[in-house]
């Protein structure tokens, strides 16, 4: 069972997964885009501008989920010192950053027709910006600190500290008066979004999740090769 966690076995699985995702990705993307841009209805209040939701919301979910995962894995890394966890967190961070930035930019574009402004120092938007900063610091630590153990320690501290920001982002719309609307989709309790909009939203989320898996696997593979390269030099 533990054999599976050897880098060589992980590497073979990565190759298989990469080719599988590559084979289905464009078909999924086409279906997702068709639903998001053509088949889903316009909102009764926001009109067609609501279609921005199909990239904005999944991007924000991925940005938040990635950081939560990084922070949880960093805690595990502190306790159990598992080498693979470092590689995983390092590979997830750039994905989280890119999707947090996409959420901020598309949210800003959505704000113009909805609120009449591209930017407001609103609690939700500001806390998302803080999340992006945590990602930047996390990645910068890995780039700037040359000693790998120190880089891992510092980046883990950054991730665990940044975890405080996650509930702030989630509940900012309830704790403060913000321009941002409260959540329409709830894991517990009934959602206030119609199924004709929920379906394309979940479909686009799945498409972007597949994209994340693709990037993550490529980054993880790069990290494994980097380690192997280092070992080769020791010969």
Q: Which residues bind another protein (CB under 8 A)?
A: 7-8, 11-12, 15, 33, 36-38, 42, 47-49, 51-52, 55-56, 59, 94, 98, 101-102, 105-106, 109-110, 112-113, 211, 214-215, 218-219, 221-222, 224-226, 228-229, 232-233, 235
Least separation, in Å, of the C-beta of 164 and another protein? 27
Distance CA 121, CA 176 (A): 12
Q: Kindly state the smallest distance separating residue 17's Cβ from another protein, in Å.
A: 14
Nearer to another protein, 12 or 140 (CB): 12
Give the nearer residue to another protein in terms of CB position, either 11 or 171.
11
If the CB atoms of residues 158 and 208 are measured against another protein, the closer one turns out to be: 208
Residues in the chain: 235
How far apart (Å, rounded) are the C-alpha atoms in residues 162 and 135?
Answer: 9
Cβ of residue 171: shortest distance to another protein, in angstroms? 26
Closest CB 181 distance from another protein, rounded Å? 17
Query: Among residues 135 and 156, whose Cβ is nearest to another protein?
Result: 135
For residue 104, the minimal CB distance to another protein (Å) is: 11
Give min distance, CB of 78 to another protein, in A.
28
Please report how close the Cβ of residue 157 comes to another protein at its closest, in angstroms: 26
What is the chain's alpha carbon radius of gyration, rounded to the nearest angstrom?
Answer: 20
∠ CA 133-135-137, rounded to 5°: 70
Pick the closer one to another protein by CB: 21 or 137: 21
Nearest to another protein of 78, 84 (CB atom):
84
- Which CB atom, from 142 or from 153, has the smaller least distance to another protein? 142
Backbone angles phi, psi at 47, to 5 degrees: 65, -145
């Amino acid at each position: 069972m533990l054999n599976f966690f050897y880098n060589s076995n992980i590497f073979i699985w990565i190759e298989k997964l990469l080719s599988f995702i590559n084979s289905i990705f464009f078909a999924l993307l086409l279906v997702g885009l068709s639903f998001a841009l053509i088949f889903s209805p316009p909102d009764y209040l926001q009109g067609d501008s609501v279609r921005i939701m199909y990239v904005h919301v999944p991007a924000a979910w991925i940005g938040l989920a990635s950081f939560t995962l990084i922070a949880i894995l960093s805690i595990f890394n502190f306790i159990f010192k598992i080498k693979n966890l470092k590689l995983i967190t390092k590979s997830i961070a750039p994905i989280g950053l890119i999707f947090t930035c996409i959420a901020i930019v598309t949210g800003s574009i959505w704000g113009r027709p909805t609120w009449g402004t591209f930017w407001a120092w609103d609690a939700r938007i500001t806390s998302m910006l803080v999340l992006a900063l945590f990602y930047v610091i996390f990645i910068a630590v890995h780039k700037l600190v040359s000693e790998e153990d120190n880089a891992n320690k510092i980046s883990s501290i950054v991730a665990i500290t940044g975890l405080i920001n996650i509930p702030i982002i989630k509940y900012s719309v309830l704790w403060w008066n913000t321009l941002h609307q409260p959540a329409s989709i709830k894991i517990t309790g009934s959602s206030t979004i119609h199924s004709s909009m929920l379906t394309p939203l979940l479909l686009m989320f799945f498409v972007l999740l597949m994209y994340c898996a693709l990037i993550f696997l490529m980054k993880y593979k790069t990290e494994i090769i980097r380690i192997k390269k280092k070992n080769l030099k020791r010969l």
